[in-house]
Chain A
Amino acid sequence: MSNPSYRIFDASENAVIVYFSDIVSSEQTQKIAAFSHALKTSLGELIVDVTLSYTSALVTYQSLSIDHFSIKQKIKSILTQLNDITFSVKQIELPAYYHSEVGADLNTMAKAKNLTVSDIIKFHSEQIYSVFAIGFAPGFAFLGEVNPILATPRLATPRKKVAKGSIAIADKQTAVYPAVSPGGWNLIGNCPVSLFDAANTPPLPFNIGDSVKFVPIERNEFIRLGGHID
């Protein structure tokens, strides 16, 4: 019997989606990552792609090799064994230069919350964040959750251009913009380390289920690590 909390639905004639939970937690995210790993290991070529996000895994399969009944049976069987699988996750540290010269919304946020900038730095950097989802843009990781004091709605009007490396907050999540892009999150700092680089193996330093901690750095360290101030 598979755990009754799993729900599996067809998504198309060659994809199914597995829901693991109704709530987001680092424990669930790690379970989803373990599922993806087990699925690829045991079904190999039958799996075209697996898209993980928050509470679900979308599995695209080779519908010329297996039908939707059989793939769901195999998925259920993997889900049944999931609790016995040990899956290691890692924690990475990212340097963070928190300053209004690279975080345009830092002072506004402090004022609105009646906090000092140092408070914001402390609250943001003492938390350990779980990678809940990767998407929106290559290497864009949704990290959660921030200390409730820091939760801030998205900007009413998104910026046309957000600098690469920008550290930002939207609602209860935080993220680093891996490349220059438009964006509506509140900018509080910048990470000088390139997060997504096609030339690196792996191109992204973390996966879903891993955790991230920000380490505050000073301006000169930021510059030394390759950071830019526009």
Chain B
Amino acid sequence: MTSILKVINPGLYSCVQDLGRFGQNHLGLTTGGCHDAYAFKIANALVGNPINSPALELTLGGFRAEVLAPITIALTGLNVGFTINNKNQALWQSIQVARGDVIEIATPHIGLRHTLAISGGVKAQSHFTSVSTVMREGLGCKIEANTLIKQQAPRFSKQKRLPANLIPNFCQNTPLNMVLALQHHEFSAADLNRFLSSSYTVTGQSDRMGYRIQGAALESPTGARFSEGINLGAIQVPADGQPIVLLNDRQTIGGYPKLGSVTALDCANLLQKRAGDEVAFNAISIEKAQNLNHLAQVKLQRALDALN
């Protein structure tokens, strides 16, 4: 298999992802998976791939690679300096690159993560049904300088561009939708109000496993409890009262009380936040959260149709 990219600089953290590793929790394996399913699926569709093809996830830009064979690429995420041979390129579109071209993605001013899809998909070893990288579990592939990226299958794609009205409007200051669930009834009404009316600061101890946020302290319900499964977005409150939102690479089980969950859609927004950013939460009903999922699905389908 021919190599298609030589990574000169991987940036802060670059890895291979797909939509996630499902159905493996009983082994203690977490889900992992791309930071934003919409951005990931569209990136693949732009280069003519099946939407679950392995792609690169870049954290905080700083990525530079040399093209070794003609391919189609697409970058999705928040706006960022993106050049081929120092010439500016737009995100959310496919770009044909040739041998010798240099792809460069700058450090973003806002946001954190981007998806870089490559026609044919990135060749990666699948473990337990998925190529998702979870460093803690020793699964997947972290991209280093000099990594040679191979293509899964040769594929060529025609020029595609996502219509502007289907590019997500990543609004940085919208409160994150969450549902009050799990052990929320064990928290006092005053603390639930405090949580929903405060803004919290993302701390430096935040990564794909979970985001630690700092602000109004909540009283964590005491009492013995057994570890239980942790779902995506679960907001747990340890004894220090500072919430932790569990994300894609979360541990499968844990024992802290949880007052609810950030919706899967808004977990993608949270994963764009970096240390020092402020976040707030907006409680919505499960019915509304499920409706929003359906609307998101309609929007995704419209986008995929537009790219077909």
Which A residues are within 8 Å of any B CB, using their own CB?
9-15, 17, 24, 36, 48-58, 60, 63-64, 67-68, 133-140, 142, 179, 196, 198, 203-204, 207-208
Contact = CB atoms under 8 A, between A and B. Distances in A.
22 contacts: A11-B182, A11-B234, A12-B231, A12-B261, A12-B289, A13-B261, A13-B263, A13-B290, A14-B264, A17-B182, A17-B228, A50-B25, A50-B229, A52-B26, A54-B227, A54-B228, A56-B228, A58-B231, A134-B252, A135-B28, A135-B251, A137-B136
B23 A48 contact: yes
B183 to A, nearest CB: 8
Contacts of A196: 27-28
Contact of B232 (A12, A36, A53, A136): A12
Interface in B264-288: 264, 286-287
A17 B260 CA distance: 12
Contacts of A139: 27-28
Interface residues of B, number: 42
Contacts of B261: 11-13, 15
Contacts of B31: 49
Given A13-B290, A13-B293, A196-B27, A53 B229 contact: yes
B172 interface: no
Nearest to A204: B27
A36 B26 contact: yes
Contact of A49 (B25, B258, B290, B297): B25
A95 B20 CA distance: 35
B291 to A, nearest CB: 9
A14, A60, A133, A135: which has the most chain B beta carbons within 10 Å? A135
Interface in B146-163: none
B181 A24 contact: no
Contacts of B109: none
Contacts of A68: 286-287, 290
A52 B227 contact: no
B234 A67 contact: no
B253 A137 contact: no
A72 to B, nearest CB: 11
Nearest to A132: B226
Given A12-B234, A48-B22, A138 B253 contact: no
Interface in B25-74: 25-29, 31
Contact of B290 (A51, A58, A67): A67
A158 B293 CA distance: 42
A134 B138 CA distance: 17
A155 B223 CA distance: 22
A196 B290 CA distance: 37
B139 to A, nearest CB: 8
A206 to B, nearest CB: 11
B231 A208 contact: no
A128 B128 CA distance: 30
Given A134-B28, A136-B253, A49 B182 contact: no
Contacts of B263: 12-13
A200 to B, nearest CB: 11
A122 to B, nearest CB: 29
A70 to B, nearest CB: 11
B91 interface: no
B178 to A, nearest CB: 9
Contact of B226 (A24, A36, A134, A208): A24
Interface string B215-238: 000000000001111111110000
Contacts of A64: 293-294, 297
B127 interface: yes
B27 A58 contact: no
Given A53-B228, A63-B293, A196-B27, 13 more contacts: A12-B181, A13-B261, A14-B264, A50-B26, A52-B26, A53-B229, A58-B230, A133-B253, A134-B27, A137-B137, A138-B27, A139-B27, A139-B28
B244 interface: no
Nearest to A12: B261
8 closest residue pairs by CB, A with B: A58-B229, A51-B229, A13-B289, A12-B261, A135-B253, A54-B226, A15-B231, A51-B25
A49 B297 CA distance: 20
Contact of B26 (A24, A51, A55, A67): A51
Interface string B115-155: 00000000000011000000011100000000000000000
Contacts of B227: 53-54, 133, 135, 142
Nearest to B182: A11
Given A24-B226, A53-B226, A11 B231 contact: yes
B29, B232, B260, B294: most-surrounded residue (chain A CB, <10 A): B29
B226 A51 contact: no
